[in-house]
Amino acid sequence: MIQIHTAKGEKASYFNEREHQICLMARLIEDGKTYWVAGGGSPMASILLAKKLYAPNAVYVTEDGVLAPEPVLPFDPIMTMVSSRAGYRALQWGTMNSIGFHAQMGYMDYGILNTLQVDPYGNINSTLLGDYESGEFRRFGGPGGADSIASLCWRTILMTDHQKRKFVPRVDFISSPGFLDGSEGARERAGLPRGTGPYLVLTPWALFDYEDRYLRLIGISPFVTLEQVLAEMSFRPKMADQLLTLETPTEEELTLLRTEIDPRGQVTITGDIGRWIMRREDGSFGPADEVEAQGGDPNLPRSW
């Protein structure tokens, strides 16, 4: 059973979907465990928030060999790894080889990654959209360190947006391995370490785990319906018997995120942050434009 930290204090009345996802991810971080996080973006914001509120003894490493840093925030644009601010007060400065070998020996409990596409078996595509062989594709950077994170950490957690084009029956290119064809032992047959693999997928709308190496829906956010969640997926996931309701952010979480972790809004304001979500008079949540069209609640303090 998945452990989720309980957020204390007042619920925020106004937030965007990216902020919601990061706060959820922070509550999933297990204290006292090691995390290999993708540089910058939502994964790193999540672990930084978790360390402040829920998991002070969680340790993270980055691809450039930085082990357990206490970074100086905010980062300069693009400088989320290998910079002096990102690596500040680490316990060790190693190299990509050293961190890769640590993970290969089993020291990394979790990996947290973003992805372009994910399939029901947790395979990850960060290379291209389209067909590799024919040359008809739109190319992105490549796996970077993600392949090693997804291969070598004991459990891999994915953060992605909840969109039909992201949840596909087959990824266009397996940049980083999930359960491959989904058969038992497929990873081991490909030479990957025993007992590793995809663990969770978290979107702003929903939380998934895996049952028999196939994606299973286990929770949804209170501002979307089950129908909406399923409509934005190109395949049908397995379903848990009971769906969790994913709690929205607290004021305390958002304040830390907005003032200390990402004060420039590089992760939570610019780029694709999803919709703004607002609390209704009855305490339920909905997209801000809909809530406002319905009259909203003018007495509510806004978090932003």
**Strand arrangement of the beta sheet that strand 214-220 belongs to:** 92-93, 66-67, 59-61, 34-37, 110-114, 155-159, 197-202, 206-211, 214-220, 238-245
Nearer to other proteins, 50 or 81 (CB): 81
Nearer to other proteins, 32 or 130 (CB): 130
CB of 132 to other proteins, least distance (A): 7
CB of 265 to other proteins, least distance (A): 16
Nearer to other proteins, 271 or 283 (CB): 271
CB of 138 to other proteins, least distance (A): 8
CA-to-CA distance for 268 and 46, rounded, in angstroms? 11
Question: What are the residues whose beta carbons fall under 8 Å from the beta carbon of 150, sequence distance 6 or more?
Answer: 111, 113, 124, 156, 176, 177, 178, 198
Kind and range of the H or E run holding 228: helix 226-231
CB atoms near residue 299 (< 10 Å): 7
CB of 26 to other proteins, least distance (A): 25
Residue 258 near residue 304 (C-beta atoms within 8 A): yes
Nearer to other proteins, 177 or 204 (CB): 177
Question: What are the residues whose beta carbons fall under 8 Å from the beta carbon of 199, sequence distance 6 or more?
Answer: 110, 155, 156, 157, 209, 210
Residues binding other proteins (CB under 8 A): 63-66, 72, 76-79, 81-85, 87-90, 93-97, 100, 104, 127, 132, 135, 139-148, 151-152, 173-177, 180, 186-193
Residue 295 near residue 282 (C-beta atoms within 8 A): no
Nearer to other proteins, 192 or 244 (CB): 192
CB of 65 to other proteins, least distance (A): 5
CB of 3 to other proteins, least distance (A): 28
CA-to-CA distance for 37 and 194, rounded, in angstroms? 21
CA-to-CA distance for 82 and 34, rounded, in angstroms? 19
CB atoms near residue 175 (< 10 Å): 23
DSSP states of 154-193: SEEEEE----TTTB-SS-SS-SB-SSTTS-TTHHHHTTPP
Reading the block at residue 49, the tokens are 């928030």
Nearer to other proteins, 79 or 230 (CB): 79
CB of 298 to other proteins, least distance (A): 39
CB of 60 to other proteins, least distance (A): 14
CB atoms near residue 104 (< 10 Å): 14
Reading the block at residue 44, the tokens are 């790193």
Nearer to other proteins, 137 or 276 (CB): 137
Nearer to other proteins, 94 or 296 (CB): 94
